[in-house]
Structure 1
Amino acid sequence: MKLSRLSTAILFTALPASSIFAAGLDRSGQSIAAFLQPDNYAEASFTVLDPTVEGSSHLDKKSLSDMGDDYYFPTAAVKVQATDKISLGLLYDQPFGADATYGIDTGTFDNSQEGTKVKVRTNNLTALIGYQPTENWNIYAGPVWQTVKADISLRGNAYGGPAPTGLSGYNIKVDQEDAYGWAAGFAYQIPEIALKAAVTYRSEIKHKAKATETMTTPIGTLQLLTSDLDAITPQSVNIDLQTGIAVNTLVFANLRWVHWDQFVVSPKFLATKGQDLINYSDDQYSVTAGLSRKFNDQWAGTAAIGWDSGAGNPVTTLGPTEGYWSIGLGGQYSPAANYFIQAGIKYFWLGDAEAQTGGDVKASFADNYALGYGMKIGYRF
């Protein structure tokens, strides 16, 4: 039951919109699948998420309009088989992030002029070197370069109203800073039956970034503090599995663990008020499983289902969802043997959540959903 190279490549390249609405700030899923492709390989992808996240205020029992902003992110990778036993890879993604803007509706998360807003961005560059002692084994490791920046504004009665008694009007801007970590793992494969298993560990990365905290009031914007902000992006483990079950057909699964438990970001001014900016209480677990089928030399398809545990409930007001269930479809078209184009779509049923700030639940969010779209181009050289 030996599968062709196109078939064995389906799993680790199909359904590009596979991990785009996960727990906490998790976004890309941090896949190293491109590095496990045979021979020399390069890819680039572009993914868009369109969430709808609505709720109701506990302060006045009124409805809250959609606060989930659309967002997009790219990924790219190149892998070179330098020798029969040595491979090199460079992978770019945006592993963590957040995009949200509350509407001007109840006063819970707005001040009648603007709503609470959050934008968090990360960039990740992973360099890997792999050693293949035999055809079946691949042992790899390498450094990870990462940047984080954020721009967050708190508005509304949920934060105690305006200064001096409350935090409505509070802003924090975190400048982009570099930090470093590492990744390592191993893979085992039996090409004759399209079997492949990989375990990849990524270390936590400690950031010390410059944070500027200000307060917007009717008389202007007041400078509060400029200080170093300590933040740690979490360690994680990915397990990728696949095997052929018939000619040109394979099943696959991805399991992911992210150490969000006790993840806290607490800028200095907020800390003096007994507040955290972000606080997660549970680790994240997620599973994606599905089936890929090669129809002919040019066309292949994938179907997958997914589950994500979330990172604890109640959750921060800056991302009020608790895990998800999902279903997705992807297609691959190969005009020639050495390159392909893929597209995927995924629907997410987002978990209900209670949004809290200052230790008190201020709103409930239920019956929400998201749509993800993705496109990828891969090339073998």
Structure 2
Amino acid sequence: MKATALCISMCIFLPTQVFSAALETSNQSIASFLESNNYLEFSSAIVDANVSGNIYRPEANDPTILTEISTPNFVQQYVLFNAGLKLQLHPNWSFGFIYDQPFGTNVSYTLAPVPTSPSDLINATQFKLDTKNITSLLGYQPNPCLNFYAGLGYQTLTTQLKISGQSSGLLIDYKGDIQKDTAHGWLIGMSYQIPEYALKTSLTYRAKIRHKQPFNEQTTTTPAIPLLNLSSDQNTTIETPQSINLEFQSGITAHNLIYGSLRWVNWQNFKIASPLISSSSSSPVMLVDYQKNQWATTLGLAHVLNDKWTSTIDIGRDSGIGNPASTLSPSNGFYSLGLGSFYQIHSNLFIAGGVKYFKLNKAKVQQDTNGSGSLFKPLSSVNNNHALAYGIKMGYRF
């Protein structure tokens, strides 16, 4: 079992856990840091989603009259990169770095101009959020089975939001931007392994990371109404969520191994408030506000075909975050099926690839435009949406 265990343990976490609840684009695994000896890996994934539905569009000259129309695909394709470096400085001490992009989104759609409106108003929404993480880790191994580790995270965050024309039934355009902000966080965890049985498990807690940065906001009207043309540059606070990861693998025969993960993310405390719009309200107005925490799980099987090739198959489920259907939250969790393959180029170098299909659960339709996230247009119905992710990884042991 020992020879096959070393082979499989490097390939089971393919970079295809990239279409989860809320804004998550990575499961923030620290698997690369738990590899033996000195280890370096690079991975990339492409996410291609087909997400659409129907919305009620207000008429240009009478916003009380609504017409149901279909949206285009409003989740844009995006590419993700990950990298990991682990150095075994001493039999009892290890050090490493992990780079990933844990949270992000790229939602946008534009419908044709309204020909009867004074200035050909359009119905459009754009929301981009991007984070990049560099995590440094220090591990202590008192014996070959146990590994206690802790780390510090450096995170950057940028976001851009535009709501144009009649998306919210008003002849007002809204724009909000947060320039690149940096903040720090931490993690702690432990791992237990028995290499001769290909048994490895880890439990990791990541703390939330708080960003406090000026939120540049602006509203404009067409035709111009000076009292409604407002701007603001007030500070706002955004906390990327805390999380807990449980990951495991275990050999079951000389050529087969099971693996899986369980992840909890505290999205219920994630909010983006608008200082500009909140200034005229008795309580903060939330642009983004999730209702439930996320639970995500994966269970898979790896099979060693020969000395060079290993194949993997896994299934997954994501609980979603409970928000009603809107252009920000068209789905509410998913079921997934992933296939992967691993090729051992030589004893120290491998390449792995995978594809994962996501069947997105429909979010509940709720035509209530009051409350949090009301600037994002509610959907009148949701299509049978899905997504595909393609991943590739290279690893080198030295």
* 3-state secondary structure, aligned to 1:323: strand
**Distance in 2, Cα, partners of 1:57 & 1:162:** 17
2:263 is matched with 256
* 3-state secondary structure, aligned to 1:261: helix
Query: Structure 1, residues 27-73: CA drift from partner, whole Å, max 9, x if none?
Result: 11111010011111001111110001110114422222211110111
Corresponding letter in the other structure for 1:292: A
**Distance in 2, Cα, partners of 1:106 & 1:243:** 57
TM (norm. structure 2) is 0.88
Corresponding letter in the other structure for 2:337: I
Shift of 1:241: 1.0
2:9 is matched with 9
Contact 1:316 1:357 in 2 (8 A): no
Shift of 1:330: 0.7
Shift of 1:112: 4.6
Shift of 1:2: 3.1
Corresponding letter in the other structure for 1:2: K
**Distance in 2, Cα, partners of 1:183 & 1:336:** 34
Q: 1:189 aligns with which of 187, 193, 197?
A: 193
Shift of 1:312: 1.2
Shift of 1:157: 3.1
1:73 is matched with 80
Which residues of structure 2 form unaligned runs of 5+?
Answer: 57-65, 115-119
Contact 1:260 1:282 in 2 (8 A): yes
**Distance in 1, Cα, partners of 2:33 & 2:392:** 19
* 3-state secondary structure, aligned to 2:143: coil
Contact 2:94 2:140 in 1 (8 A): yes
**Distance in 2, Cα, partners of 1:196 & 1:60:** 56
How many residues of Structure 1 are paired with residues of Structure 2 in the alignment?
Answer: 371
Shift of 1:106: 8.9
Q: 1:212 aligns with which of 216, 219, 235?
A: 216
Contact 2:208 2:241 in 1 (8 A): yes
**Distance in 2, Cα, partners of 1:282 & 1:136:** 36
Corresponding letter in the other structure for 2:329: G
**Distance in 2, Cα, partners of 1:135 & 1:316:** 50
Query: Structure 1, residues 117-139: CA drift from partner, whole Å, max 9, x if none?
Result: 11100010110000001111000
2:207 is matched with 203
Query: Structure 1, residues 214-237: CA drift from partner, whole Å, max 9, x if none?
Result: 124346895510111101011000
2:392 is matched with 375
2:60 is matched with none
1:166 is matched with none
- What CA RMSD, in Å, does the superposition of the two structures yield over aligned residues? 2.1
Report 1:25-174 matches (<5 A). Answer: 25-58=23-56, 59-105=66-112, 112-113=121-122, 115-163=124-172, 169-174=173-178
Q: 2:272 aligns with which of 235, 242, 265?
A: 265
Contact 1:211 1:227 in 2 (8 A): yes
Aligned-residue sequence identity (percent) comes to 38
Contact 1:122 1:149 in 2 (8 A): yes
1:23 is matched with 21
Contact 1:278 1:316 in 2 (8 A): no
Query: Structure 1, residues 78-110: CA drift from partner, whole Å, max 9, x if none?
Result: 000110010101000010001011131597xxx
Contact 1:3 1:248 in 2 (8 A): no
Shift of 1:211: 1.3
**Distance in 2, Cα, partners of 1:3 & 1:112:** 65
Larger Rg over CA atoms = 2
Corresponding letter in the other structure for 1:178: T
